[in-house]
């Protein structure tokens, strides 16, 4: 999907081998203004000041994957339509 939009991943990590911790996620949140949280086929848009760390976690208590940041927007979880929006600019 990235290839179709001529974008390149700046950082990639395996969430099983290097899971994000609360401090790491707070660092990411400090760099964005809008968070999209995907759960199944549903997507919620949340202003960064209103998002809690629990909003970004799945049923196992781990952070949802993938986390994709584009500019000042962050997608947490997989949602194809939102990912296309982020990649298109």
pLDDT tens digits, one per residue of 58-85: 998 999 989 999 899 999 999 989 988 8
Task: Please count the structural domains in the chain.
Answer: 1
Q: Which residues pair with 37 in a beta bridge?
A: 44, 76
Q: Predicted confidence band at 56 (pLDDT cuts at 50, 70, 90)?
A: very high
Q: Calculate ∠ Cα 79-85-86, nearest 5°.
A: 90
Q: 7 falls in which pLDDT band (50, 70, 90)?
A: low
**Residue-range definition of the domain harbouring residue 37:** 3-88
Average pLDDT, the chain: 88
Looking at the chain, list the stretches that DSSP marks H as alpha helix, in order from N- to C-terminal side. Answer: 22-29, 80-88
Looking at the whole model, is its pTM more than 0.75?
A: yes
């Amino acid at each position: 999907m990235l290839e179709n939009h001529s974008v390149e991943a700046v950082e990639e990590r395996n969430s099983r081998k290097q899971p994000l911790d609360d401090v790491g996620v707070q660092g990411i949140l400090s760099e964005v203004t809008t968070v999209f949280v995907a759960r199944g086929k549903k997507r919620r848009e949340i202003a960064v000041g209103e998002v809690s760390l629990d909003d970004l976690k799945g049923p196992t208590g781990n952070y949802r994957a993938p986390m994709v940041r584009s500019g000042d927007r962050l997608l947490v979880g997989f949602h194809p339509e939102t990912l296309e929006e982020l990649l298109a600019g």
